Structure 1
Amino acid sequence: MKLISDCLEIKHLDQYAKCSIDRIIVSLPHVSARPARVYTMEELKEIVKFAHELGLEVGVNMLNFVMEDDLDKFQDALLFCKDNKIDRIYFADMGVYWMAKEMKMEHLLIYQPTTLIASSQDANEYLRLGIDRVVLAREITFDDMKHILSHCHGCEVSVFGYNVMMHS
């Protein structure tokens, strides 16, 4: 089991490590949905360096929907993630998957479509694409989660925190 938290302050990274947090999630302008805080690319470089020194993984929130006008922003964000050794990328729009696949980065992806992963068949179908993990829907029962987890390896479950149903 890994503990994952949004990164609210760069200065708190050492506290995250002391609390046994395994991965922090950071958000970038234009590509992140519902961010706890948005960081610039320069701030993110500092975060990645410090986090990795502390043994923390870094995940990037790329949960926004990809609109045609935003393709360059998403491609730039993916290139940044690749160049700066980001450990995981959370996404909800399959456009991000196709861009990442072209860059040979699909193994860094975690599919988090909020309400869509509600069965082991759903989860396994996305995992077959080479995606590292999927996040189960929060609306399913605990028994359903246990069933899915027993038939699928590569799932994350949100057990605490801000619960967003959907955005539009």
Structure 2
Amino acid sequence: MVREENRLMEKSRSMDSQGVPSNAFGKSERKPELIVTLNPGDPIPVHGSLAVPVEPFAAGFPQAFTVEDWRKLRLRTIEEGRKLYALLPGFVMEEDLDALEQLLLSLHDADGLYYGDEAVLMAARKTGYDGLMIFQPDTLICSSADVQAVKSMGADVVSLAHELSLEEVLAIAGRTDGLEVQIHGYYPVLSSRRKLLTAYGRTIGSSVIGEGQFSLQETTRPNRIPVLEQESGTVLFSPEPVQSLGQLPALLHAGIDRLRIDTRFLEPSDRNAALTAYQAVIDGGVAGMQLPGSDRTWRQQSVKTKEETQ
């Protein structure tokens, strides 16, 4: 495993398959920005930039910050000289456009906006927002062509699909910049605007199964799957958090601009341990600990059949 990751690191330093230097953008000379998502009520971590889900466009997050919560946190981060980003991953329907524009006026001082629906980008333009626009659709961005297409529409930063292998990420990084990668935490694998749990509960005659946070057990897989149903729909997450300590050196050499820790379903103590370990490696040291989670996703091609992943 170490040998394979070293091979990929050397590849990221030199040339891609088309003969393009992987450091063509001068990316490897600077440290990436480390971003950690913050859940309402959790203590604020010592390290990293912060990203918080803001209601009512925070689909997929068990809890979200109100505008008033945002204002208080924004004042604190300004005093501390830290960056604060707003997470707005939800679908935006026609009837939501006015509310979206009003929300963006309240978030005018955000260092950046995460979005998965292009309506957020259009509303940001309309309201004169001039911070970073970070496209984060969870599973859609799988190539440098995807990245370039989204940037041509106005995105400043593009978050790569969670399912990509390390080799696939390094290949993309060799051809474009302005990339973000989730390195730790649970990640969405399926989103639906339908209330799938409620529908299932009705089918089996259960009033208990419906909106809220649950875990599912498949008959053919050992791990339980976190699932969240809200008014906006249903989101299924990875059965275990991804952890990337072994892959982090290769990502750093490839010049990935931004690295994100997603704290959904993580205890603050686990979050702090992960943040400390990753920051130590970014600063040129060693993690000094093992982190819970799996790096299996990094080691397999992104397109696999169910039989191949068992």
Q: Same fold (TM over 0.5)?
A: yes
Which category describes the TM-score, using the shorter chain as reference length?
A: 0.7 to 0.9
Q: Which residue identity lines up with residue 133 of structure 1 in the other structure?
A: V
| Contact 1:25–1:60 under 8 Å retained in 2 | yes
| Contact 1:10–1:47 under 8 Å retained in 2 | no
Pairwise CA distance, 1:128: 2.2
Gaps spanning 5+ residues in structure 2: where?
A: 1-31, 193-310
Q: 1:86 aligned to 2:110?
A: yes
From 84, 96, 102, the equivalent of 1:58 is: 84
- Distance in 2 between residues matched to 1:81 and 1:139, nearest whole Å: 31
- Distance in 2 between residues matched to 1:145 and 1:44, nearest whole Å: 33
TM-score, normalised via structure 1 length: 0.88
- Bigger mean CA deviation after superposition, 103-112 or 126-135: 103-112
Q: Which residue of 2 aligns with 1:2?
A: 33
Q: Which runs of 4+ in 1 moved over 4 A?
A: none
Pairwise CA distance, 1:68: 1.5
Pairwise CA distance, 1:36: 4.9
Q: Which residue identity lines up with residue 30 of structure 1 in the other structure?
A: P
| Contact 2:150–2:158 under 8 Å retained in 1 | yes
Q: Which residue identity lines up with residue 79 of structure 1 in the other structure?
A: L
Q: Give the direction of change, closer, same or farther, for the CA distance of 1:11–1:143 in structure 2 (3 Å limit).
A: closer
- Distance in 1 between residues matched to 2:130 and 2:181, nearest whole Å: 20
From 95, 112, 127, the equivalent of 1:103 is: 127
Q: Which residue of 2 aligns with 1:44?
A: 70
The structure richer in helix per residue is: 1
Q: Give the direction of change, closer, same or farther, for the CA distance of 1:119–1:127 in structure 2 (3 Å limit).
A: same
TM-score, normalised via structure 2 length: 0.49
From 152, 159, 183, the equivalent of 1:135 is: 159
Identity %: 28
From 146, 149, 155, the equivalent of 2:170 is: 146
Which digits, 9 at most, give the CA deviation of each residue in 1:17-44, with x for residues without a partner? x3x21x2111222211222531121111
* Larger RCO (alpha carbons 8 Å, 6+ apart): 2
Q: Give the direction of change, closer, same or farther, for the CA distance of 1:68–1:62 in structure 2 (3 Å limit).
A: same
- Distance in 1 between residues matched to 2:173 and 2:131, nearest whole Å: 20
Pairwise CA distance, 1:166: 2.9
- Distance in 1 between residues matched to 2:98 and 2:33, nearest whole Å: 32
| Contact 1:5–1:25 under 8 Å retained in 2 | yes
Secondary structure (helix, strand or coil) at the match of 2:137 reads: coil
Which digits, 9 at most, give the CA deviation of each residue in 1:56-115, with x for residues without a partner? 211111110001121122111111111xx1111100011111111223336521001111
Superposed CA RMSD in Å reads: 1.7
Q: Which residue of 2 aligns with 1:124?
A: 148
